[in-house]
Amino acid sequence: MKRLKDKVALITGAGMGQGQAAAVLFADEGAKIVIGDVNDSAGAKTVEMITDEGGEAVFRHCDVSKEADCKALVAKGVEAFGKLDILYNNAGVLWKDKDKSVVDTKEEDWDAVLAICLKGAYLICKYGIPELQKAGGGSIINIGSISGLTGSTIPQDAYASAKGALRTLTKSLAVQFARENIRCNIIHPGMIDTPMQHKYMKNDEWTRAVEDSIPMGRFGQPGEIAKVALFLASEESSYMTGAELVVDGGFIAT
């Protein structure tokens, strides 16, 4: 039996990378998918990938930093499929060229990173949790980062702060809604081979140096994060809430 049969999953940032991999995998496991992304062509491509394989998906443009967009995305999902069972807060930004130490980061860039990486999850949950309550429960999956767990000699202070706060929000939601059969867990990826990461890969020598710093000796793949998210979305993790799963090839264990 498919692990997400008859479930409806809303996934932000599903136009490419980890979000797209999760959308395709969840659909293959029986879920109907509600896709939100700021990139309309990428979002439409993910819908096409799913429907070409016989799945069901809808897309709506969504800038997760804007309340109206998040409210409309939730409404789009309920209108299309009648309910929501899974909220997957995946949307984020990696601005290594602008998000640096606090002494080097502009205020508007700090605000933008926190709005996308933290406020977006708040807004999706604000409008999505009432739909999970109507459905009798569900699963919230947040995408954190190992940057939210440790310090760094090459700082991205806004990103790390947002992901650290998302970690705490995850636990707060887990405690608040546990008795309503709503679970909330967080995944902390390490270095994952995504289009967002490619922008900052300087050269082959730099890439090899990063890979050498990872005990497994390689970057992770988007599908490897998607499989962990599938576990958290499914009933296989029915007694897990407020949990943190680090998926980093052993990087922070060193």
SS3 176: helix
Does the annotation count 122 as an active-site position? Answer: no
DSSP state, residue 6: T
For the beta sheet containing 182-189, the strands, ordered from the edge strand earlier in sequence to the opposite edge, are 57-61, 32-37, 8-12, 86-89, 138-143, 182-189, 244-247
C-alpha 173, offset from chain centre: 16
Q: What φ, ψ does residue 13 adopt, rounded to 5°? A: 65, 35
CB-based contacts of 92, cutoff 8 Å, min separation 6: 13, 116, 117, 120, 143, 159, 196
Instruction: Tell me how crowded residue 233 is: count the other CB atoms within 10 A of its CB.
Output: 30
Instruction: Tell me how crowded residue 101 is: count the other CB atoms within 10 A of its CB.
Output: 11
Q: How far apart are CA 35 and CA 99, in angstroms?
A: 27
Q: Which of 127, 159, 200, 239 is catalytic?
A: 159
SS3 62: coil
* Residues 24/16, Cβ–Cβ less than 8 Å: no
Q: So which residues are the catalytic ones?
A: 159
